[in-house]
Amino acid sequence: MKTSKSIYLFFLPGLILYSLFFLYPTISALFYSFTDWDGLSAAFQFVGIDNYTRAFTGDSIFRKAIGNNLKFMLTVVVFQTLVALAFALIVIKNTKTNVFLRALYFFPTILSSVSVAFIWAFIYDPSMGILNQVLSLVGLDFLAQNWLGDANIAIYSLAVTQVWFHAGQMLIIFVAGLQAIPEELYEVAKIEGASKWQTFRAVTWPLLAPSATIVVAYTTIQSFKAFDLVFAMTGGGPNNSTEIIATYIYQVAFGSYQFGYASSISVIFMVIIALITYLQFKALRSDRVSY
Amino acid sequence: MKKKLWLATGTIGLGLVLGACAGESGGGSSENGDATQISFMHWRGEDKAVLDEIIADFEEANPDIRVEQNIYPSDQYQATAQRMLQEGSTGDVFTSFPGAQFESIESAGFFEDLSGEEFISNFDESLITVGERDGTQYALPYQLVFNMPVYNKGMFDELGLEVPKSWTEFQEMADTLLENDITPIAFPGADIGPNQFMNSMMMNNAPDEDVFEKLQNGEESLTNEWWVKTLEDFKLLADKGYIQDNALGTNQDSAMAMVANEEAAMIATGSYHMASLIALNPDLELDLLAPITVEESEATYEGINTATFMLAVNSNSEKKDQAKAFIDYLSQPEVASKYANETGQHLTVNNVEYESKELKNTAYWIDERKTRFQPRFLITNAQIEGAVLSSIENVLGGEDPMAAAEAAQQIVDENRE
């Protein structure tokens, strides 16, 4: 009995850190979201739900940021999941080449996001960048674009960078999931005469659902929080076309010193992420996988 | 016994974690032996070497004071300086941008009143008013920047081009450059281009220096002629090819390379890029040229100035006397001259001796030309500033000037206080 009580002490450091760095800031944000606090002064006024009303009815940039974030998230979730899965299927066997390739694909993940931003800003530069120069060299000049300067495509250019940055991380999750599928099931499918596509659809994909759920949920949260990459590459421009919720919160809080309003956007942001993640879990139904 | 052991282990573990956190956030100003250490917080990483030399000389002259530089990149500085000042451990002496940052620091009460300090007389009285509020001198601008295009004077001489005095002449000059396969203006639209070039593009379209104050209080609108005309002028620059293709994707390094390689005749930034351009191509002969967007007879201003890098003392500092002593030292003409010549900056300090060719060649802008304080810094609401800049990006992206102005005005209306 004594042992079972003392075991709770193991939770204590984690609980204190979690409370200090997550619970307290979250509760503070909720509190300040009902105030006009400027982040500097000791004094502030309670403004009721004014900040929330403003966010939903009187702030066109916030609405644009939500739209941009959804575009960014959908592009990243679809392509990052597909790219990671495709590469995972290629490197699933534990050969020396595949182990090397996994490490290679994982490599971008260990870079700092600011380094990645600089590398890709250089690649995308319309006049000196590698991408347009390569397109020009192979006779595809007509595909050359103002990748980060064109408000219509800038958010997708950022999404490509995000996929390159994190696909390797998701690949590892998929490889682990694929390797956990019993070999006998593939043997049965083969005996039954299933094609490769049928095998993938009936065996691989259903049994990969738990991994896919993790990948999709993690990618969603990651793409909502892609602050550093976006901030370093475009700063939200041109014309707010790459402004996402995280960069907008930063701008409102530290550019305009409207911490109260920024807190209200943060709370809305948290609810949006929670809602989308919940819907994804429901849709992918990872708990219903069975052999 | 076991319970006590767990508690002790947990307490020590937590102590170590919190101790590590405290260690990381500390630093800055502390007592260092017999000397008092002060923190000098600023954003000019490129000036670190010369400031290190100046600080070494200062410390030799004032053995009881040590100065540590705390440098943050300018974009980060805009966001974090206020938090640092609030805490009080960093930035006994600090610098502030004019405009929104000055306003927010002033309203938060972090500026120590410098009125009455003897060293104020070392500065040019007419250039430090931007650091004053209601008769109180809170900050002293140190650098004098001209936020207007830098042009290749040698190239102009070679092509027989004169500095244009009207919008018509400006377009004729740009046409001549295009005929010679030279891009008239390298525009770094991906970063600082819009916020720098807007100043000279609008200075004569809206000669009223209170125009942005009126915009913020609802007396003016971006859909009025002064701003729509400015956007139309930007559109003309893009449509006629006076700025390079894909300008919104070009950053300042690429734009500087265009001028250094003589592919472009001007860079739409400011005097602070002259030293870097000379470093890239020592054969360049440079001067400043602001587009006059009206006819010669209607022109009020010839250029833009910004008194910036405003030196101030943190009101939360416990070492105010030492901090003031350091500002006093920086304002001595011989020290300021060293700083000016090694950083390629004009200063607001009196009796500075400029030695470099580009500083000497452009010093006439300080008192012989009619320049206007950077209008952008008179927008004190960052959201409204963002709307103004977005309308320029919108037009360069192909939008109709009036539609861009209307979209921006909507954001102004949403954010007016």
Task: List the structure tokens of A15.
Answer: 């609980």
Which chain A residue shows the shortest CA-CA distance from B395?
A239
3 state SS of A155: helix
> Which residues in chain B touch residue A257, judged by CB atoms under 8 angstroms apart?
82, 104
Would you mind telling me the total number of residues written for chain B in this entry? 417
A–B CB contacts, 8 A cutoff, strictly below: 119
Q: Do A256 and B396 touch (CB under 8 A)?
A: no
How many Cα neighbours within 13 Å face the side chain of B355? 9
A167-182 tens-digit pLDDT: 999 999 999 999 999 9
Cα–Cα distances in angstroms (integers) from residue A286 to residues A177, A202, A206, A281, B165, in the given order: 12, 15, 9, 7, 71
> What is the spatial distance between Cα B34 and Cα B32, in angstroms, rounded to a whole number?
6
Whether B73 has its CB under 8 Å from any CB of chain A: the answer is no
ipTM over 0.90: no
Q: Residues A110-138: what's their mean pLDDT?
A: 92
pTM, two decimal places:
0.82
pLDDT per residue over A237-254, tens digit each? 899 999 999 999 999 998
CA–CA dist B72, A191 (Å, integer): 66
B186 close to B245: Cβ distance less than 8 angstroms = no
Q: How many residues does chain A have?
A: 291
Q: Which residues contact A119 (CB under 8 A, 6 or more apart)?
A: none
* Alpha carbon B409 to chain centroid, angstroms: 25
Burial status of residue B158 (CB atoms within 10 A of its CB: 0-12, 13-18, 19 or more): exposed
Cis peptide before A238 (omega within 30 of 0): yes
pLDDT at position A40 is 78
Question: What is the residue whose two structure tokens read 């105030």?
Answer: A35
Which contiguous run of DSSP H or E holds residue B114?
none
Average pLDDT, chain B: 89
- Render the burial of B224-237: b for 16+ CB within 10 Å, e for the rest: eebbbbbbbbbbbb
Question: Do A127 and B382 lie within an 8 Å CB cutoff?
Answer: no
Q: How confident is the model at residue A256, as a pLDDT?
A: 84
Report residue B397 as tokens. 């992206």
Given its phi and psi angles, is residue B137 left (phi above 0), alpha (psi -120 to 50 degrees) or beta?
Answer: beta
Measured distance CA(A9)–CA(A25) in Å, rounded: 24
Comparing CB atoms, the residue among A40, A125, A235 nearest residue B108 is A40
Q: Which of A121, A238, A256 shows the shortest C-beta gap to B248? A: A238
**B43-56: per-residue pLDDT in tens?**
998 899 999 999 99
Distance from CA of A150 to the nearest CA of B (A): 7
**Closest residue, chain B, to A58 (C-alpha):** B414
CB burial class (10 A; 0-12, 13-18, 19+) of residue A52? middle
- pLDDT surpasses 90 at B169: yes
Q: How far apart are CA B18 and CA B36, in angstroms?
A: 27
For chain B, report the end-to-end CA distance as a whole number of angstroms: 63
Residues 13-32 of A with CB under 8 A from B: 13, 16-17
How close A283 comes to chain B (CA, Å)? 38
Q: Cα–Cα distances in Å, from B38 out to A192, B92, B118, B397?
A: 79, 6, 21, 47
Write out the two tokens for B230: 């400015």
Q: What is the pLDDT of residues A190-240, one digit of tens each?
A: 999 999 999 999 999 899 988 998 999 899 988 988 899 999 999 998 999
- Evaluate if residue B19 carries a pLDDT over 50: no
Dmax (CA) for chain B in angstroms is 93
Q: Tell me whether B315 touches chain A (CB under 8 Å).
A: no
| A103 touching chain B per CB within 8 A | no
Report yes or no: B176 and B248 within 8 Å, Cβ to Cβ: no
Any A CB within 8 A of B393 CB: yes
Is the Cβ–Cβ distance between B371 and B302 less than 8 Å? yes
Give the best residue of A36, A40, A136, A242 to mutate against chain B (max B CB count within 10 A). Answer: A40
